[in-house]
Amino acid sequence: MDKKIILSGIQPSGILTIGNYLGAIKNWETMQDEYDCLFMLADLHTLTVKQDPARLRANTYELTALYLACGLDPVKSVLFLQSHVPAHAELTWILNTVSYPGELSRMTQFKDKSLKHADNINMGLMDYPVLMAADILLYQADVVPIGADQKQHLELTRDLAVRFNNRYGETFKVPEAYIGKMGAKIYSLQEPGRKMSKSDENPNGFVSMDDDEATVLRKFKRAVTDSGSEIRRGEDKPGITNLINIYSLFSGKSAEETEREFEGAGYADFKKRVGEAVAAGIEPIRAEKNRILKDKGYIDKLLSEGADRAAYLANKTLRKVYKKVGLVPRVKG
């Protein structure tokens, strides 16, 4: 029986947080045995907001090294840069012809980013979900791991696939969402009502996968807790609930086991232990990432090979799409 195809992409726009790691990357090692996996660095998507070119290139290498350090196997899976496969941009143009301005302007992320980047409201920002649809549909993905903030974009992808299929005949698979039960959303250490984000203006709100042990321990020591003294989950304890989830995911224990382990303990001791578990979990990854980064030639070779494999799959779909819409195929003379 053929494995289902899964596509996952992250923008190389800065070092990732433990929220990114727990919500997605930590699961990839086992996912590679269950699915045919494509892991994409969505560098074209980053351009919807202003980037420092040198920083973007450095971030791209860093994220590639981090993927590998976290257990991504470039033999089992396809690892590639979005910009290395021109079919992404080409399919976006075709999908634009079945996309409506009204549905794109209603996208929550477009509204949010327009407010944050009022000096740079560009068409790429609005068209971002169509490029995301092209990313997914090119590879006939069955499943797409998404966070809660990407649900609306996946729904649009499904709508565009159905709309195209109805207009031109069966062409695209209609993908399903893959959302992990726990770890899909890790919250800020300073504002536990908000998702942990690398763009948080308060550096104490997030833990980076690049933070050393001392930094990790300091950030958890400063983590916001709740009234009372019990270490338990609950709507009235968002800070402690977040810390319990983080500890559970790094220690491999269930949330219930964590609550029992820290029954009667004080908040200060609990936060220290959570910090220690996180530091112990990310330090080997950080060391391996830094080792891989020293050999840019190795990374370039892997990305080139990954792009060839991705392009082979993407171009099969693109040729089918071009034929369906009536474009004349190029005949090599």
- 99-158: per-residue pLDDT in tens? 998 888 887 776 666 666 667 678 888 898 999 999 999 999 999 987 766 788 899 999
Q: pLDDT band at 2, cuts 50/70/90?
A: confident
pLDDT for 114 equals 63
Q: What is this structure's pTM?
A: 0.88
- 172-212: per-residue pLDDT in tens? 999 999 865 545 579 999 999 998 988 888 999 999 999 99
Q: Are 196 and 19 in contact (CB under 8 A)?
A: yes
State the catalytic residue, choosing from 26, 113, 219, 271.
113
Backbone φ and ψ for 223, nearest 5 degrees, come out as -60, 140
- 45-103: per-residue pLDDT in tens? 999 888 999 999 999 999 999 999 999 999 999 999 999 999 999 999 999 999 998 88
Cβ within 8 Å of residue 308, ≥6 positions away: none
pLDDT for 1 equals 60
- 242-301: per-residue pLDDT in tens? 999 999 999 999 999 999 999 999 999 999 999 999 999 999 999 999 999 999 999 999
Distance (Å, rounded) from C-alpha 303 to C-alpha 297? Answer: 10
Q: Are 18 and 209 in contact (CB under 8 A)?
A: yes
- Dihedral angle sign, alpha carbons of residues 9, 178, 109, 22: negative
Q: What residue ranges of the chain are covered by domains with CATH 1.10.240.10?
A: 203-291
**Pairing outcome for strands 78-81 and 36-41:** parallel
- 21-47: per-residue pLDDT in tens? 987 788 887 889 899 999 999 999 999
CATH class of 5-183+296-325: alpha beta
**Token pair listed for 263:** 């029954």
State the catalytic residue, choosing from 195, 219, 271, 289.
195
State the catalytic residue, choosing from 4, 76, 185, 198.
198
pLDDT for 87 equals 98
Instruction: Select the CATH number that applies to the domain covering 203-291 from these four: 1.10.3720.10, 1.10.287.110, 1.10.240.10, 3.40.309.10.
Output: 1.10.240.10
pLDDT for 115 equals 65
- The C-alpha R_g of the chain, in whole angstroms, comes to 21
Q: What residue ranges of the chain are covered by domains with CATH 3.40.50.620?
A: 5-183+296-325
pLDDT for 111 equals 65
What value does the mean pLDDT take over residues 319-324? 97
pLDDT for 182 equals 47
Residue 253 annotated as catalytic: no
pLDDT for 181 equals 52
Strand partners, 280: none
Residue 185 annotated as catalytic: no
Q: pLDDT band at 225, cuts 50/70/90?
A: very high
Residue 332 annotated as catalytic: no
